[in-house]
Amino acid sequence: MDPVIMKALLILIVLMNLDKFAERNKCFAFLSFSDQVLSITAKTQEQVELLKNVSTQYETVLWQPVSPEYIKEEEPVHLFVPANSSDTVKDLLQGHAVAHEVLLDNTNEMIELQTRNDSTDPRSSSSYYERYHSLEDIYYWINRTTQEHPEMVKVVLIGSSYEKRPLYALKVHFKKQKQDKKAIWIDCGIHAREWISPAFCMWFVQNNRMWRKNRSYSTDSSCVGVDLNRNFDANWCTEGASDKPCSEIYCGAFPESEPESEAVANFLRSHKDSVQLYLTIHSYSQMLLFPYSCTLDEAENHNELVSFLVMAQEAAQKIRRYYRNTYKYGAGGKTIYLAPGGSDDWAYNLGIKYSFTFELQDRGRYGFLLPPSHISKACNEALIAVKTIALRVIEKTQAPQ
Ligand SMILES: *[C@@H]1O[C@H](CO)[C@@H](O)[C@H](O)[C@H]1NC(C)=O
Ligand SMILES: *[C@@H]1O[C@H](CO)[C@@H](O)[C@H](O)[C@H]1NC(C)=O
Ligand SMILES: *[C@@H]1O[C@H](CO)[C@@H](O)[C@H](O)[C@H]1NC(C)=O
Ligand SMILES: *[C@@H]1O[C@H](CO)[C@@H](O)[C@H](O)[C@H]1NC(C)=O
Ligand SMILES: CC(=O)N[C@H]1CO[C@H](CO)[C@@H](O)[C@@H]1O
């Protein structure tokens, strides 16, 4: 990272949603040969209704949008279809003349790529940071990183998960930091299936060194898990969230009902005067978002937030000959749809005026199954955006009086 940023801002990094994360390999264990991801575009309202039915009444997993109520005409739906539902689903689509194409028909191979442990494979040319890691590996990595660079990286226990796994924040800073140092907060992995997100947090820390849902069981339902990014106290559980435990966007029993969102909220509440920039890392769709998501109202410093992202986009375009990627940007509610209870809105309302959600690669080619070979590009372009924004925040907030 830029030395200017390192001198000016303490960086706090947290990996969220540990219980889900620990189990994510198992989530895929039921997969059989030739499961597919389809991209389906409804042209009529009737086709929209059909897609809602298919995604709720059959054994499929909706990848995009996050929940069936957001399925709209002319907007591609990404649907994971297990092999044994494939014929039924395709018959239904064909019966209603719904256009669809196969996005991925080798999901098993993709999952194998993501979960493969090639740290032992001598032929492997990828570095540690160009692979995905298990939670156990990441705990080990945290420990090793803090031991190897005690002057730069410190670990703080900020809470624990429902299953009592420790939730650590990594403090990354220069040796001689002032007591009242301002900070950047970055959290990764709020949604467990977005593997690129924790990979980015590790990438970020590594770079510095050189210079969805908890697992708790609610009592009245067999469905497991809360969407942590609907669980913060920002228009909590209004339109765009669900109070039904079986929904992907279940908001939880009350704001901060989940130990992980509570730990993050407590930490930020007690450090709100020093944290000047809040970043939460997600995937996929390539978007840079800022408040509000919980309402269509504009944030008070809307134009300033836009200008930061324009600069981030420009910075990323300078390297576009390597990374031909563009990111959409804007206020969450207007750019995608209403999503109350998100951590970025909550942090913003707490007083952290620079608050952003990054939706990393890709746009759906691989979706949540982004191959390890894409990690470095995805992380590098995000890193450029983070640096650009952090420098702007420093200019705005720490300018000599
Ligand atoms: C969707 O499901 C409902 C309830 O099962 C049914 O009444 C409706 O006809 C279905 N619509 C389509 C387009 O399949
Ligand atoms: C599809 O396969 C899964 C895993 O093998 C199984 O649990 C499920 O019941 C099957 N569904 C159908 C409709 O056969
Ligand atoms: C990968 O292999 C290394 C070396 O054998 C081991 O330490 C690590 O725990 C393994 N990781 C996973 C995810 O199995
Ligand atoms: C890190 O490793 C050391 C030595 O192996 C061990 O004593 C310590 O408890 C570990 N710390 C964490 C946070 O896992
Ligand atoms: C909705 C839900 O089940 N939330 C649970 C998350 O975890 C805590 C335990 O730490 C439970 O008290 C909540 O009920």
Per-residue pLDDT of the chain (401 residues; tens, 9 = 90+): 667 777 777 888 888 888 887 776 655 545 566 789 999 999 999 999 999 999 999 988 899 998 999 999 999 999 999 888 999 999 999 999 999 999 998 888 888 888 776 555 655 667 889 999 988 899 999 999 999 888 888 899 999 988 899 999 999 876 665 556 789 999 998 888 889 999 999 998 887 654 434 444 444 455 667 888 898 999 999 999 999 888 889 999 999 999 999 999 999 999 999 999 999 999 999 999 999 999 999 999 999 999 999 988 887 776 655 556 788 899 999 998 889 999 999 999 999 999 999 999 999 999 999 999 999 999 988 998 998 999 999 888 876 54
User: Residue 254: inside a domain, yes or no?
Assistant: yes
Assess whether 55 and 177 both reside in one domain.
no
Assess whether 133 and 92 both reside in one domain.
no
Assess whether 378 and 320 both reside in one domain.
yes
DSSP conformational letter for 298: P
Q: Which residues contact 52 (CB under 8 A, 6 or more apart)?
A: 68, 69, 71
User: CB–CB of 169/159 below 8 Å?
Assistant: no
CB-defined site of ligand 3, < 6 Å: 117, 119-120, 134, 136-137
Residue whose CA lies nearest to ligand 1 atom number 1: 53
Assess whether 71 and 185 both reside in one domain.
no
Omega before 362 within 30 of 0, i.e. cis? yes
Residue whose CA lies nearest to ligand 1 atom number 14: 50
Assess whether 63 and 208 both reside in one domain.
no
58 CA to centre of ligand 2 in angstroms: 10
Assess whether 332 and 392 both reside in one domain.
yes
Please count the structural domains in the chain. Answer: 2
Residue whose CA lies nearest to ligand 1 atom number 3: 53
> Ligand 5 in contact with 25 (CB < 6 A)?
no
Domain boundary among 58, 89, 111: 111
Assess whether 95 and 206 both reside in one domain.
no
- Structure tokens given for 242: 């669900």
Query: Cα 298 from chain centroid?
Result: 23
- Note down the domain range covering 187: 125-212+224-398
The rounded distance, in Å, linking the Cα atoms of 95 and 97 is 6
Assess whether 148 and 254 both reside in one domain.
yes
User: Residue 288: inside a domain, yes or no?
Assistant: yes
Assess whether 44 and 179 both reside in one domain.
no
Q: Mind telling me the catalytic residues? A: 359
